[in-house]
Chains A and B, each alone.
Chain A
Amino acid sequence: MTKTSPDPAGPDAIASFAGGPSGLRARAMYLVYSMPALVPLFVLLLAIAVFAVLLGERFLSPFALTLILQQVAIVGIIAMAQSLVILTAGIDLSVGAVMILSSVVMGKFSVHLGLPQEIAVLCGLLCGVICGLISGVLVAVVKLPPFIVTLGMWQIVLATNFLYSGSEVIRSQTIAAEAPLLQVFGRTVSVGGANFTYGVIFMLGLVVVLTYALGQTAWGRHVYAVGDDPQAAELSGVNVTRTLISVYALAGLICAFAGWVLIGRIGSVSPQAGQFANIESITAVVIGGISLFGGRGSVAGALFGALIVGVFTLGLRLMGLDVQWTYLLIGLLIILAVTVDQRIRRASL
């Protein structure tokens, strides 16, 4: 008798997959599971469509749409840093404080200490990296919970910011005269009626770079692995400690860049800015479909999440509604986003 593989469907079949649910719903669920940024993208397009219908040209103009990009640029960049940390099943409450301290360092080093502006910028970026490294070491080596570590770092960095700056603002005109490099991200590029600041371009570029790094490099794979199951990752040969430290340090660097972009946006160095950046970035990340339990999600989702908040804020404002309605809707969106994430998780088990 010739030996052939038994036909899986035939009477000699030993075992076969049942195949699972089929049809449009199953395919849609599979799509959403494999590309988690699809859901926030869909919500974003739906929101834009709804406001376009309600407000017409006032909302759908290149002016208004690029204004939204400008208004969410800072939060968008910080959300990138927050995404990286959340992907490792951590959280970073110090992102806003690191951003402000870095901007204060850049401003004071160049204007008050008289250092060349390039050196001052590098010092600011280095400041962000150092803050990130401290958090990273405390989380990865000393094995403290990220929430607690970054809660403490938030207070420490914020207080350092106010002590060092004396709460004093460095005026836009002073910076323009003495260290114009600090304001470089505020310059605009006009295409038709649309205004893109260098800060917006930087944010979009950062999303592309991080998407590539997380999806196509070994480091990216390790980040997802560490977030999903650190013990399995360790056993598979991933250096969990090094990966975690690199993630927090990179997040700190991104926050420092956000500080540089902030100087471009508001012109001055303001120690009072960025008070809610940590909450806003977590909101963007959660609405963007990145799981707070780590290991799942794409940074593009965080960008869409930030844009959704921006669209709602400007759209509702143009409709003349109280700003509290925006907060209410954002709260609902957050809960909805987490519900969708949980359903996808359960479906994948």
Chain B
Amino acid sequence: MNMIKAGLAGVALSTAAAGAASATSVCLITKDATNPFFVKMAEGAFAKAAELGVELRSFAGRFDGDHETQVSAIETCVASGVDGILLVASDTAAITGPVMAARDAGLLVIALDTPLDPMDAADMTFATDNFEAGRLIGEWARRTMDDPENARIGLLNINISQPTVGVLRNQGFLTGFGIDIGDPNRWGDEDDPRIAGQEVSNGNAEGGRSGMENLLAIDPSINLVYTINEPAAAGAHEALRAFGRADDVLIVSVDGGCPGVEDVAAGVIGATAQQYPLQMAALGVEAVARFAETGELPAPTEGKDFFDTGVGLVTGAPVEGMEHLSVEEGLRLCWG
């Protein structure tokens, strides 16, 4: 008798749970769970989800570049019947297959931060205009340096697979500085003699230091360094300091995290292009919630193929003719 009562109670509960499961649900899949950018993005997503009463599940690869885990995560989300997926893709070309399958199953798929390749494989992309971010710091560097025609430039990229975010920032920087970029879909094919070398840094301080040391070994007279993100810039600065060149070399970066903006304040980084991951995630959750309710697809920013979540140039040394954010404003808007 007790067993039957328990069984009936169980059935009642699961029916109620099934009823509750028809509330909007979203999956957030990031490249990894260790890069502070994605940690903050997840926090922003959870906060917005709590505010809207949306159920959020988050997944992450084990490392930046872990494609397989992301494929499994997409399949899990499709099987769970969620309304939408927010995806920061590790392998922007290979993930398009599972993404199209998810879209065919009726899910809304939004690419966050890193556009897929091709971009329209996702329903919409909410991202920083990474090319613009690079362009801002490139132009700032050109206007700040005494002799940009004879600059010796070192570039610290992310990794050898040349993901879109790395290529866009790199090519944006070179364009902003006034260097012919050749093929805009990859770095390394430029032949401007001002480029001393391009290294990979894996986007962390250790890689930044080794990469900078290798660049200095190739050309000790480097006086401008582009870095993919602020941790790599911090590592590069340590290498420059160790070789007594910290005061002669200008470092520019992208990200706008709080440690990075503090580095701008301290003079470690000359200028950084700030991006807004919390906003990216929040807008993504909102878009899925709206899609679940009304079927409305998110729209791109006017004149672009994606929704631009904005970028700001944070520097303590502003230049004529360029809008910028002061260090104080940068610290107010920073993440992490």
A-B contact count (CB 8 A): 90
In the bound complex, how far is the Cα of B211 from the Cα of A317, in angstroms?
A: 10
Question: Taking the complex as formed, is B213 at the interface, i.e. its CB lies under 8 A from any CB of chain A?
Answer: yes
Nearest CB of chain B from residue A204's CB, rounded to whole Å? 18
In the complex with contacts A167-B35, A186-B242, A266-B217 CB distance below 8 A = no
Judge whether A195 is part of the interface by a CB distance below 8 angstroms: yes
Contact A272 B34 (CB under 8 A): yes
Q: Is A110 an interface residue (CB 8 A)?
A: no
Stretch at the interface among B21-29, B76-84, B169-177, B200-208: B200-208
How far is A171 from B263 in the complex, measured between Cα atoms in Å?
8
Q: Which of A70, A267, A271 contacts B34 (CB 8 A)?
A: A271
A67 — which chain B residues lie within 8 A by C-beta?
A: 213, 217
Q: Are A169 and B36 in contact (CB under 8 A)?
A: yes
Bound CA span A172–B206, Å: 12
Cβ-defined partner of B231 (8 Å) among A71, A265, A272: A272
**How far does the Cβ of A85 sit from chain B's closest Cβ, in whole Å?**
23
Interface string of A250-278 (1 = CB under 8 A from B): 00000000000010011110111111000
Tell me if A274 and B242 are in contact (CB < 8 A): no
With contacts A168-B36, A171-B259, A323-B200 taken as known, whether A267 is within 8 angstroms of B234 at the C-beta atoms is yes
Interface residues of A in 303-323 (CB under 8 A from B): 314, 317-318, 322-323
CA distance A186 to B160 in the complex (A): 28
Residue on B with the closest CB to A322?
A: B160
| B16 on interface, CB distance cutoff 8 Å | no
Decide yes or no whether A216 CB sits under 8 A from chain B.
Answer: no
A residues less than 8 Å from B39 (CB atoms): 166-167
Instruction: Report if B218 contacts A (CB, 8 A).
Output: yes
Contacts A186-B242, A318-B218; is A171 near B234 (CB within 8 Å)?
yes
Given contacts A162-B34, A195-B242, contact A64 B205 (CB under 8 A): no
Number of interface residues of A (CB under 8 A): 35
What mask results when residues 224 to 249 of chain B are scored 1 for a CB within 8 Å of chain A, else 0? Answer: 00000001001101100111000000
Give the chain A neighbours of B209 by CB distance below 8 A. 265-266
A318, B206: Cα distance in complex, Å: 19
Q: Is B281 an interface residue (CB 8 A)?
A: no
- Distance A272 CA – B200 CA, assembled complex (angstroms): 16
Say how far A270's CB is from chain B's closest CB, in angstroms: 5
B160 touching A265, Cβ below 8 Å: no
CB distance from A202 to the nearest CB of B (A): 16
Total contacting residues, chain B, CB less than 8 A:
32
Q: Is the CB of B235 within 8 A of A70?
A: no
Q: Are A314 and B214 in contact (CB under 8 A)?
A: yes
Does B268 touch A at the CB level, under 8 Å? yes
Asked if B33 lies at the interface with its beta carbon under 8 angstroms from chain A, I say yes
With the chains together, A324 CA to B235 CA distance in Å?
23
The answer to whether B205 touches A267 (Cβ under 8 A) is yes
A339 adjacent to chain B (CB < 8 Å)? no
Name the distance in Å between A152's Cβ and chain B's nearest Cβ: 15
User: For residue A197, which residues in chain B have a CB less than 8 angstroms away from its CB?
Assistant: 242
Point out the residues of chain A lying under 8 angstroms from B268, CB to CB: 172-173
Q: Which of A38-68 contact B (CB under 8 A)?
A: 58, 63-64, 67
Write out the residue numbers on chain A whose beta carbons fall within 8 Å of the beta carbon of B205: 169, 266-268, 270, 272-273
Query: Can you name the residue of chain A whose Cβ is closest to the Cβ of B235?
Result: A266
> Is A188 engaged at the interface, CB distance under 8 Å to the other chain?
yes
List residues of A (119-168) whose CB comes within 8 Å of B's CBs: 162, 166-168
Contact mask for chain B residues 324-336; partner A; CB cutoff 8 A; 1 contact, 0 none: 0000000000001
A167 to B258, CA, bound (A): 13
A162 and B33 form a contact (CB under 8 A):
yes
A-B contact pairs, 13 of them (CB 8 A): A58-B217, A162-B34, A167-B36, A169-B36, A169-B205, A197-B242, A265-B238, A266-B208, A268-B235, A271-B34, A275-B63, A314-B217, A317-B214
Residue numbers of B with Cβ under 8 A of A are 33-36, 39, 63, 160, 200, 204-206, 208-210, 213-214, 217-218, 231, 234-235, 237-238, 241-243, 259, 262-263, 266, 268, 336
Extra 6 A-B pairs, beta carbons < 8 Å, given A162-B33, A266-B235: A64-B217, A166-B39, A266-B206, A266-B234, A268-B234, A317-B214
